[in-house]
């Protein structure tokens, strides 16, 4: 868990959301990620965000983690899915291959708790790892499992991103509950407001587990659907790219990232780098819609 000392005064799309395309058309309802680029770009973004940041050391560790996620994504055996939701059993054991690659590549100069977690995970048998993955996905982790679960979460991100990318996007449909991922059913880690591309100015919610993005109308709460009680908050003097959208109807909030301020935004990376905003918004009485999947608490 990072320090909280920082306090403010039809296809797999291989480009970024908002990459320039010809003309302005209706937005794609669902966009699947490209696992070959997803984690390497995230690692670059985290490294950039770490420069001069009060939590620079932790963000650099997360950049390192994203880098080995890329290696795991490239080395993992091929997986395919026939239909969503991807989280329904059975789970392909290929995710454990991703975990093994991740543990091998990230080993080195790590804090003692992180190194101890690697030792425990290497000693765990397949059944123990599957139980830990189940508890993570169900939100039932015991306190002593949280350190180990960070690596499990990172491996499951690799697995589900690869699995989602195997789906035929033309056969996917948005869920009636628009605040949930149409591919795996998870809550979004953040939203991105596009600045260019097929339909600039539209909002895509991004799944923190399988990295699917789906279109969601703006100016309504992604949690309860209300529109009359929304407000946006940001840290004075901070980046205009990251804002917290709060709802006084359900007292929830979610992060929204604006490409108009920074075309490099990444839902997971920029969320991790803006934890000070979470602190301020929580002090105001709002509860986060869904946690970042890599902050296991």
Contact 95, 133 (CB under 8 A): yes
Contact 44, 266 (CB under 8 A): no
Domain containing residue 207: CATH number: 3.90.1670.10
Q: Which residue, among 98, 94, 38, 96, has the nearest Cα to 66 in the 3D structure?
A: 38
Per-residue pLDDT of the chain (297 residues), as tens digits, is 454 443 343 333 223 444 444 445 688 999 999 999 999 999 999 999 999 999 999 999 999 999 999 999 999 999 998 888 898 888 999 999 999 999 999 977 888 888 999 999 999 999 999 999 999 999 999 999 999 999 999 999 999 999 999 999 989 999 988 899 999 999 999 999 999 767 789 999 999 999 999 999 998 999 999 988 899 999 988 889 999 999 999 999 999 999 999 999 999 999 999 999 999 999 999 999 999 999 986
- Do both 203 and 227 map to the same domain? yes
> What integer pLDDT is reported at residue 238 of this predicted model?
83
> What integer pLDDT is reported at residue 15 of this predicted model?
36
Measure the CA–CA gap between 67 and 82, rounded to whole angstroms: 29
> What integer pLDDT is reported at residue 4 of this predicted model?
40
- Do both 70 and 116 map to the same domain? yes
User: pTM higher than 0.85, yes or no?
Assistant: yes
- Do both 61 and 156 map to the same domain? yes
> What integer pLDDT is reported at residue 200 of this predicted model?
83
- Classify residue 137: in a domain, yes or no: yes
> What integer pLDDT is reported at residue 24 of this predicted model?
53
Measure the CA–CA gap between 224 and 100, rounded to whole angstroms: 39
Total number of domains constituting the chain? 2
- Do both 55 and 158 map to the same domain? yes
Q: Which among 134, 165, 196 is the end of a domain? A: 165
- Do both 187 and 120 map to the same domain? no
- All residues at 6 or more sequence positions from 292 whose CB lies less than 8 Å from its CB, including other chains: 189, 208, 268, 271, 272
- Do both 151 and 47 map to the same domain? yes
- Classify residue 12: in a domain, yes or no: no
Q: Which residue, among 62, 150, 147, has the nearest Cα to 113 in the 3D structure?
A: 147
> What integer pLDDT is reported at residue 25 of this predicted model?
67
- Do both 158 and 43 map to the same domain? yes
Longest C-alpha distance within the chain, in Å? Answer: 54
In a 3-state reduction of DSSP, which class is residue 258? strand
Q: Is the peptide bond before 85 cis (omega within 30 degrees of 0)?
A: yes
- Do both 132 and 81 map to the same domain? yes
Query: Domain range spanning residue 204?
Result: 30-34+175-288
- Do both 155 and 257 map to the same domain? no
- What's the DSSP call for residue 32? B
> What integer pLDDT is reported at residue 237 of this predicted model?
83
Give the bridge partners for 214, in sequence order. Answer: 30, 205
Contact 121, 131 (CB under 8 A): no
- Do both 154 and 182 map to the same domain? no
């Amino acid at each position: 868990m990072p320090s909280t000392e920082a306090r403010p005064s039809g296809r797999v799309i291989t480009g970024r959301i908002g990459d320039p395309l010809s003309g302005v058309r209706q937005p794609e309802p669902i966009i699947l990620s490209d696992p070959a680029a997803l984690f390497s770009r995230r690692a670059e973004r985290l490294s950039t965000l770490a420069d001069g940041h009060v939590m620079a050391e932790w963000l650099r560790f997360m950049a390192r983690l994203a880098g080995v996620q890329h290696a795991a994504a490239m080395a993992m055996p091929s997986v395919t899915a026939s239909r969503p939701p991807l989280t329904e059993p059975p789970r392909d054991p290929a995710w454990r291959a991703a975990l093994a690659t991740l543990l091998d590549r990230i080993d080195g100069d790590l804090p003692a708790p992180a190194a101890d977690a690697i030792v425990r995970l290497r000693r765990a048998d397949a059944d123990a790892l599957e139980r830990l993955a189940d508890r993570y996905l169900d939100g039932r982790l015991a306190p002593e499992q949280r350190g180990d679960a960070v690596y499990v979460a990172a491996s499951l991100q690799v697995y589900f991103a690869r699995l989602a990318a195997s789906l035929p996007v033309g056969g996917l449909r948005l869920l009636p509950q628009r605040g949930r991922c149409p591919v795996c059913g998870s809550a979004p880690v953040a939203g991105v407001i596009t600045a260019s591309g097929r339909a600039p100015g539209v909002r895509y919610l991004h799944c923190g587990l399988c990295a699917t993005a789906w279109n969601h109308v703006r100016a309504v709460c992604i949690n309860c659907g209300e529109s009359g009680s929304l407000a946006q908050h940001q840290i004075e003097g901070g980046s205009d790219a990251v804002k917290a959208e709060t709802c006084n109807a359900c007292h929830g909030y979610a992060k929204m990232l604006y490409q108009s301020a920074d075309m490099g935004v990444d839902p997971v990376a920029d969320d991790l780098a803006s934890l000070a905003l979470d602190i301020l918004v929580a002090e105001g009485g709002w509860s986060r819609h869904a946690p970042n999947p890599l902050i296991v608490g």
